[in-house]
Amino acid sequence: MRESKRPPVEAERERGERVRKKRACPLCRRGIEEVDYKDMGLIQEFLTGKASIAPRRRTGTCAAHQRSLARAVKNARELALLPFTADHSLTWRERR
Amino acid sequence: MEEKETAQNYEMMVILKGEIPEEEMGFFRQKLDDWMQEKRGTIHNVEVWGKRGLAYAIGSHTEGYYLLLYFELPPSQVKSLEKALRLEENLIRFKIFKKERRGVHAGE
């Protein structure tokens, strides 16, 4: 997977705008090509408390990896390796 | 184009009913082996994950016996494999994944 290019921040700085430092995608950083649906430990890190796929704004994954992750999660769910949703006996706040 | 269809690599995960006896598992493996032989397929590797709790109940099942298989098969036979598996009573669920093409003509 290729690394994403970030537009230069100098121009924004000159204009006195606040520049938030963009963190690199955690999956790129670990050198993971494609997310494997069998890698439960890895996938788990990118799920919310109610077992849904965490948004990119929370995990900071790049678009390509987020797509790959989504694919993996959906495959894993079909094979009952992951739940579609958290147990309804608990509220999602408690799970989180 | 050669007259023989080039085989493609596949990965398949299979969930058998968790409550069936060990020998039924053997029967299933044997049946699959025979089927593969007939259809000019080759099973390269079988990973036995064993009994595992399902993340959610499928029908009345809460446990499944997981198998992960890596095999090679002419692509035209995949449909008939799915058909055959669907008739398998001890099977709860299966999913076939296509892997990269092997051999010199990769990516064609």
Decide if A78 touches B, using CB distance below 8 A.
yes
The answer to whether the Cβ–Cβ distance between A83 and B13 falls below 8 Å is: no
User: What is the three-state SS of B42-94?
Assistant: EEEEEEEEEEEEEEEEECCEEEEEEEEEEEEECHHHHHHHHHHHHCCCCEEEE
Averaged pLDDT score across all residues of chain A: 84
pLDDT surpasses 60 at B103: no
Q: Judge: A80–B58 Cβ closer than 8 Å, yes or no.
A: yes
CA separation for the pair B97, B35 (Å, rounded): 18
Distance from CA of A92 to the nearest CA of B (A): 17
Mind listing the pLDDT tens digit for each residue in B19-29? Answer: 999 899 999 99
Nearest CB to B56: which of A38, A75, A80? A80
pLDDT surpassing 80 at residue B4: no
Higher-confidence residue of B4 and B88: namely B88
Rounded to two decimals, the pTM is 0.78
Average pLDDT (B84-97) is 96
**Is pLDDT of A3 > 70?**
no
pLDDT digits (tens, 9 = 90+) for A39-68: 999 999 999 998 999 999 999 999 999 999
Please report residues of B whose CB lies closer than 8 A to that of A82: 55
- Put simply, whether B55 touches A (Cβ < 8 Å) is yes
Residue B14 pLDDT grade (very low, low, confident, very high; cuts 50, 70, 90): very high
- What value of ipTM does the predicted structure carry? 0.82
User: Which chain A residues contact residue B93 at CB under 8 A?
Assistant: 78-80
User: Is B101 a residue whose pLDDT tops 70?
Assistant: no
